[in-house]
């Protein structure tokens, strides 16, 4: 494994931490900032998702003209500033503004990271390299979310954001010294409009939306559910995320198989398994032990689904990879924004079991849609 792949994996872990770690510490943040309830603080998570989506649409395509490595460096500098603002937040509004800025940074960084992973991957090993880089999300869960829950319990939540800002600063000089691709992929301007004209992109983006909506809608209220409804300490939310992350990382053993697996049929299978799993989670929402049992399976399925969707998108048109991956991030984090708002209503009025059943239904619909995509595709398409 090259140093470039390891570096990209680490940066995914650092960038991803900010999008995942608010959920398990939401109750602590709410008390500190005088919010009425933990779910009120999750407005910041929704605005983070909106910031990612908008930046991914409007700014990520610039990587096709200026290079993904340069875009990544600029995004990380902006992320440091946003994390410093989070550390000093004195109200939910200020924290939300900081998360929106962090979302803009991530909206540029994440597409650039995925584009660089596809560029450095040897031919025929794209899924393996992309899967390794995606495992950076495991680092964000284990190192970011799990540790942040303990840090928030012992020292306070502000140390969580301060520590993450320091971690981003550490990656910047390493990135400057690393030999990453600097080639310009397109000599003409790319945009969300040009990317949306690429054949096959709409079905791929719909799969991204289904995967993200079902996951983030449920995950973002899991920490509040454990503390408010099950009376568990904040660190237990971190442990639950840890075992999810172990499953996410363990799924790397299947990444080589994905290079040979037809993408559409593979995604249909993953969504089918997710539908069954969410039904099981709905049954288990009042049992912390059963949630611990199911969490690693959840992680495995999410990893495989993400790998298949990212791989599908990166192969569509290399000359517009920045714009296409920007659309990927935009769709994913619009799902974060909209699902956080929608599931808040479900969490508040009906409970976590209903939220899990909604995710199960969405996954079942995705199976039908993906299979319909396969039937309507031309036989020559490699995605089938």
pLDDT at 373: 72
Annotate 117-133 with b (16+ C-beta within 10 A) or e (fewer).
Answer: bbbbbeeeebbbbbbbb
pLDDT at 100: 92
pLDDT one-digit tens code per residue, 275-331: 999 999 999 999 999 999 999 999 999 989 988 888 888 778 877 877 888 888 888
pLDDT exceeds 60 at position 82? yes
Q: Is 383 a member of any domain?
A: no
pLDDT at 158: 92
pLDDT at 204: 86
Q: Is 382 a member of any domain?
A: no
For residue 273, report the phi and psi dihedrals to the nearest 5 degrees: -65, -35
Segments forming the whole domain that contains residue 356: 3-178+186-376
The residue ranking higher by pLDDT, 364 or 323, is 364
pLDDT exceeds 70 at position 182? no
For residue 89, what are the CA distances in angstroms to 34, 99, 173, 197, 372?
Answer: 12, 10, 27, 42, 47
pLDDT exceeds 50 at position 220? yes
The residue ranking higher by pLDDT, 39 or 119, is 119
Q: Is 381 a member of any domain?
A: no
Provide the total of helices (H) and of strands (E) in the chain, helices listed first: 20, 0
For residue 270, what are the CA distances in angstroms to 156, 239, 267, 310, 363?
Answer: 38, 25, 5, 14, 9
Q: Is 309 a member of any domain?
A: yes
How many C-beta atoms lie closer than 10 Å to residue 348's C-beta? 12
The mean per-residue pLDDT over the stretch 58-63 comes to 79
pLDDT at 375: 57
CB-hemisphere CA count at 13 Å for 248? 24
pLDDT at 379: 38
The residue ranking higher by pLDDT, 281 or 32, is 281
Q: Is 73 a member of any domain?
A: yes
Q: Is 320 a member of any domain?
A: yes
The single residue listed with the structure tokens 């791929």 is: 204
Distance CA 321, CA 199 (A): 13
CATH of residue 243's domain is 1.20.1250.20
Q: Is 14 a member of any domain?
A: yes
Of 138, 169, 201, 165, give the one whose Cα is nearest residue 327.
201
Number of domains in the chain: 1
pLDDT at 383: 45
Q: Is 224 a member of any domain?
A: yes
Given pLDDT bands bounded at 50, 70 and 90, which one contains residue 382? very low
pLDDT exceeds 90 at position 77? yes
Given pLDDT bands bounded at 50, 70 and 90, which one contains residue 209? very high
């Amino acid at each position: 494994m090259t140093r470039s792949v390891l570096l990209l994996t680490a940066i995914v872990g650092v960038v991803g931490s900010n999008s995942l770690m608010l959920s398990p510490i939401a109750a602590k943040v709410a008390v500190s900032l005088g919010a009425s309830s933990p779910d009120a603080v999750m407005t910041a998570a929704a605005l983070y998702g909106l910031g990612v989506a908008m930046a991914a649409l409007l700014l990520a395509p610039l990587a096709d003209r200026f290079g993904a490595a340069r875009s990544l460096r600029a995004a990380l500098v902006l992320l440091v500033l946003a994390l410093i603002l989070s550390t000093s937040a004195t109200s939910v509004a200020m924290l939300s503004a900081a998360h929106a800025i962090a979302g803009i940074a991530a909206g540029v960084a994440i597409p650039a990271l995925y584009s660089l992973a596809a560029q450095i991957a040897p031919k025929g090993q794209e899924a393996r390299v992309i899967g390794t880089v995606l495992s950076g999300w495991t680092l964000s869960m284990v190192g970011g979310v799990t540790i942040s829950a303990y840090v928030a319990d012992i020292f306070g939540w502000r140390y969580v954001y301060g520590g993450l800002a320091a971690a981003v600063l550490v990656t910047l000089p390493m990135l400057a010294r690393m030999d990453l691709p600097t080639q310009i992929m397109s000599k003409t301007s790319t945009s969300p409009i040009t990317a949306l004209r690429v054949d096959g992109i709409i079905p791929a983006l719909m799969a991204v939306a289904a995967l993200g909506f079902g996951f983030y809608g449920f995950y973002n209220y899991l920490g509040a559910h454990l503390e408010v409804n099950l009376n568990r300490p904040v660190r237990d939310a971190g442990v639950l995320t840890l075992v999810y992350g172990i499953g996410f990382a363990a799924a790397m053993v299947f990444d080589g198989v994905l290079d040979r697996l037809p993408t559409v049929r593979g995604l249909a299978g993953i969504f089918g398994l997710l539908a069954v799993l969410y039904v099981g989670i709905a049954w288990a929402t009042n049992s912390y032990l059963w949630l611990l049992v199911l969490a690693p399976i959840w992680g495995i399925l999410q990893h495989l689904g993400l790998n298949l969707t990212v791989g599908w998108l990166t192969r569509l048109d290399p000359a517009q990879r920045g714009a296409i991956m920007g659309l990927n991030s935009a769709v994913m984090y619009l799902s974060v924004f909209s699902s956080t708002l929608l599931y808040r209503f479900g969490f508040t009025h009906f409970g976590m079991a209903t939220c899990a059943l909604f995710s199960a239904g969405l996954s079942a619909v995705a199976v039908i849609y993906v299979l319909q995509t396969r039937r309507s595709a031309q036989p020559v398409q490699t995605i089938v």
